[in-house]
Amino acid sequence: MEDQKTEFDRWLKEHFPAARIRFHEPMRCHTTFRAGGPARFMVMPENEEEIALLTARCRRIGLSWFVIGNGSNLLVSDAGIRGAVVEIGRRMSDISVEGETITARAGAMLSQVAVKAYKNGLSGMEFAAGIPGSVGGAVVMNAGAYGGEIKDILVFADVLDKDGEIKTFTNEQLEFGYRQSIISKQNYVAVCAKLRLHKAEPQAVKKKMEDLKERRISKQPLEFPSAGSAFKRPEGYFAGKLIMDAGLSGFSIGGAKVSEKHCGFVINQGGASASDIYAVICHVQKTVKEQFGVKLQTEVKLIGEF
């Protein structure tokens, strides 16, 4: 396997500019938790063809690969990622407006799309303005907040399938569920999305965005690195309240801590390792299960060995 990785080193240098390749790249620099070990390879593609080329090569040599956007729902282990990371970012972040629709490539930040909508007098995207993720990640996990979800505004998405072919999936075909879609189930890659919004007075849209921002600031620990809500909402309950009622507000291990401001958040209060964060998550799950019989599922995706 080491010989294959050395060969992959050479292949990357032959097919991608040096400025868009990283070797042994610390994942703490690419996740909102600001924790995690190095990725053996990281590549920043400019288009769908490069993603297809790269993933096909990985499959051919049996090298694992993983796609990330802004890293806002990921916890990468301290051991890092042995395979290749494909970071879809600013090089694939075009946003265009036509009438009441917005087309955005996967690397565009949701906040950027929301601002574009507001400036063009379009409403419906306000709920996503404060989500620190990219369009691609949002489509994959049906991101949502304050009563809105991507499925409510998405017309279709272009995805790269396992054969490296671009396919267009309608809203219904994406099989959206709570924080999931067919893309996540089939390990496809979201590359572009078309959103349908509706006309509104720009200042009214801006005011709603500002109101939601104030709510976030007052209720969420935005001053600390985190991955947002660490746990999915269990049916019939609220994860944050269960955690608070279990007496876990402020519980910490190393640099990781259950936020007193919002118990559904696990924060990096300074120098937390991925192991610290994972240990807090596991303790919360164990305690809530013992006290209330409720199994909390992580909304955060775990990558690597824990």
Instruction: Tell me if 246 sits within 8 A of 285, measured CB to CB.
Output: no
Residue 82 bears catalytic tag: no
74, 31 Cβ separation under 8 angstroms: yes
Among residues 28, 149, 179, 184, the one annotated as catalytic is 179
- Are the C-beta atoms of 220 and 262 separated by less than 8 Å? yes
- Is 229 designated active site? yes
- Give the neighbor-by-neighbor strand order of the sheet with 166-170: 95-98, 101-105, 189-196, 154-160, 166-170
Active-site annotation holder among 72, 181, 229, 259: 229
- Tell me which residue of 33, 83, 27 sits closest to 55, measured CA to CA: 83
Known catalytic membership, residue 214: no
Helix crossing, 48-61 with 2-15: angle to 10°?
Answer: 160
> Which region, left, alpha or beta, applies to residue 175 given φ > 0 means left and ψ of -120 to 50 means alpha?
left
Q: Which residues are catalytic?
A: 179, 229, 299
